[in-house]
Amino acid sequence: MNMRVVVLALIAVCGANIAVADSLEKLADDFWTWRAKFAPFTGDDVNRIERPGGIRDWSRARIEQQGKDLTGFEARWKKIHPAQWPISKQVDYKLIGSALARVRWELDVNPRWKRDPNFYIAQALTALAEALTIPAPYDEIRSREILTRIENVPSILSQASENLEGPAGAVRERCDSKSRWNSRASPEAGECARRIDNFKSGQIE
């Protein structure tokens, strides 16, 4: 009888651990589905993932929503207690934590979306390049996605002009300084200033 109680207790403990592990798997599934939709494009092949099609929205409102979504994922992750899990499962837990930290870094610690114009170039052009470099044949779905990414470029650049908090002005100041203090300023300096003025006024070239 005592042995039976022990066995039942072990089964209960194992069942609890499996349930918790399943909750981690659910968190991982939910997070990676979300990440595939909202992860920024980069030129680094390491970060290249399969993504759903459609318009990419880098408006400030959407970015703020990403932050709220991330806070929810972080809360779910912190509620999980893996101390009694097998080592392999504990590693999985830490890897999910690392992935969440990466997103927090992108949004808040090093928010390139606020200060780096190249970030938006990547969202517009790297996204298109990835779609074009997948080997043929190009069926209707892939062709439609390529067209969608082309049509998405103007809105991404418009969102860039709304989100950036200083880089354009800083670059313009450098161009003005070069023209003012260097009597032999290169034509590129004037071209730089012209393009920035066009960018700030919405005349995207």
Residue 1 resides in a domain = no
Among candidate residues 105, 108, 104, the one with its CA nearest the CA of residue 73: 104
What's the confidence (pLDDT) of residue 29? 96
| Structure-token pair, residue 163 | 């989100």
Distance CA 18, CA 31 (A): 20
Residue 138 resides in a domain = yes
Cα 14 to chain centroid, rounded:
37
Q: How many domains does the chain have?
A: 1
Residue 202 resides in a domain = no
Distance CA 61, CA 182 (A): 42
Residue 161 resides in a domain = yes
What's the confidence (pLDDT) of residue 131? 87
DSSP the chain: -HHHHHHHHHHHHHHHHHHHHHHHHHHHHHHHHHHHHHPPP-S-GGG------S-----HHHHHHHHHHHHHHHHHHHH---TTS-HHHHHHHHHHHHHHHHHHIIIIIS-HHHH-HHHHHIIIIIHHHHHHHSPSP--HHHHHHHHHHHHHHHHHHHHHHHH--SHHHHHHHHHHHHHHH-TT--HHHHHHHHHHHHHHTT---
Of 99 and 174, more confident: 99
Confidence of residue 184 (pLDDT cuts 50, 70, 90): very low
The percent of residues above 90 in pLDDT, for the chain, comes to 54
Residue 160 resides in a domain = yes
Residue 198 resides in a domain = no
Residue 110 resides in a domain = yes
What's the confidence (pLDDT) of residue 2? 55
What's the confidence (pLDDT) of residue 144? 92
- Does residue 191 register a pLDDT over 70? no
Mean pLDDT of the chain: 79
- Does residue 49 register a pLDDT over 80? no
- Does residue 40 register a pLDDT over 80? yes
Residue 130 resides in a domain = yes
pLDDT per position as a tens digit, 131-178 = 888 887 888 888 999 999 999 999 999 999 999 987 454 544 444 444
Distance CA 42, CA 127 (A): 8
What's the confidence (pLDDT) of residue 44? 74
Distance CA 125, CA 24 (A): 35
Distance CA 128, CA 45 (A): 15
Confidence of residue 96 (pLDDT cuts 50, 70, 90): very high
pTM, entire model: 0.69
Residues spanned by the domain of 133? 21-165
| Structure-token pair, residue 126 | 């790297």
